[in-house]
Structure 1
Amino acid sequence: MNKKNTTDQTDLVIGRHAAMAVLKGDQPVNKVYVQEKLKSDAIFELATLARKKSIVVSRVPKAKLDMLTDHQNHQGVAVSVAPFEYAQLDDLFAKADVADEPPFFLILDEIEDPHNLGSIIRTADAAGVHGVIIPKRRAVQLTSTVTKTSTGAIEYVPVMRANNLNNVVKELKKRGVWVFGTDMEGQDFRKFDGTAPTALVIGNEGKGISPLLKKNCDGMVSIPMSGHVQSLNASVAASLLIYQVYTSRGK
């Protein structure tokens, strides 16, 4: 397995579910911040687990937690983590091999909203996706908001950062993976068969899939709509497509 790449700076994971997932996982943790005078079973469990792993637990005023988390909904806890480890392509294939399943990957083309990315990763974990591929530039990276929105799923789904998504698509094809994008003119997603090694490309919230990446896809799938607004949120569209593959595989 290839050496992994890391982000350039540390980050905070906020929220109780996300914090617990990090503490139970393998990502190095520097420190746990807990809001002082806040008593709950969840907070007690978090602090106890941290101490068992010899991680410093610091009880701080709510004002400090608010400042550290940029006034996000931290639920009384924040975890300072070491740089997130991004996977290599071989790691994604290895996860499929361990599961003894045909590879199933997501390629996210310039997703900008961290809430969308977090939601997609959460669905990916639920439906057995073996890895997510994002670009290094012009797209949201793995942040505390992404981690919180994923409710800890980010600990279980490998995420690869690519310099060039088109090169990744070409490599996937060489390794026997069929790559499908989303387009209004594609085949009805309800008839899509994802039993073969499959990668789904989800486009940018406003622009969709870039023209060159669309050209490199093996085919297109569409989500029929009868309403007045002929578009879906990126995470909602991704969820429908992910579960179509999940269903077609007989799960």
Structure 2
Amino acid sequence: MAGPDRISARFEALRAERRAGLVTFVTAGDPSPDTFAGILAALPGAGADVIEVGMPFTDPMADGPAIEAANLRALAAGMTLPGVLELVRGFRQKDNDTPIVLMGYFNPIFAYGTERFVRDARAAGVDGLIVVDVPPEEDEELGAPARAAGLHIIRLATPTTDAGRMPAVLNGASGFLYYVSVAGITGGKAGDIQTVGAAVERLRQASGLPVAVGFGIRTPEQAAAMARQADGVVVGSAIVSLIGAAAERGDTNIAEQAATLVRSLAEAVRTARAEEELA
């Protein structure tokens, strides 16, 4: 892979530290481009190990009400796909270590031009892509050009991903796997811990990749429980909901509020395995 492989380096560092990583999700441009830039800049210092940045889209079919509302706020504030890349480029001027993964839907990428998008994304400092509506069977549409540009394609696995489906999901996957702990949309309930643990181990054995667990994780307690099972814990809707509520109130310290929440999640994730070993 040409250029820095920040994702692999980060998970290697997490393994050396014997802990899981905190993966935070925020929607680019929410609630405004300037405010979002401040939020993005604050996340690593608050403890985010990997950052997923949502690419706003009018029809986010896999997302719940909180992230859907964030998409609409960002679009109303004028966010575009070139604007998303510009925000990442600005972030990279001060942080060249924290992995950035763009997450979203294929329609805006297709409209932008796939070859042009992956080239521009890599040049801006993006490390990987999660595009939820491009199935593995359509890998040539996005996966092949993305890998050629030096981007990881991060695949989703779900509770319904059986042994027959697994090879297709893993084909071309890199960076890490994102395990959706429950069937449904973002922001719902978290998955059962024992079931999640078994699924994570199965995915690790099949792929050799780190496994991050997401969907429904909102509190430090839930994050700690998942951190004992997985290589990464993804929190999105809780952060996005806080941003939306603060924006509705007209607060001016949204980045600080988001950082406070992330700090509590990061502390729970960082200490979860150590506490388990002491128990």
Q: TM-score under structure 1 normalisation?
A: 0.40
Structure with higher strand content: 1
Q: TM-score under structure 2 normalisation?
A: 0.37
Q: Which has the larger radius of gyration?
A: 1
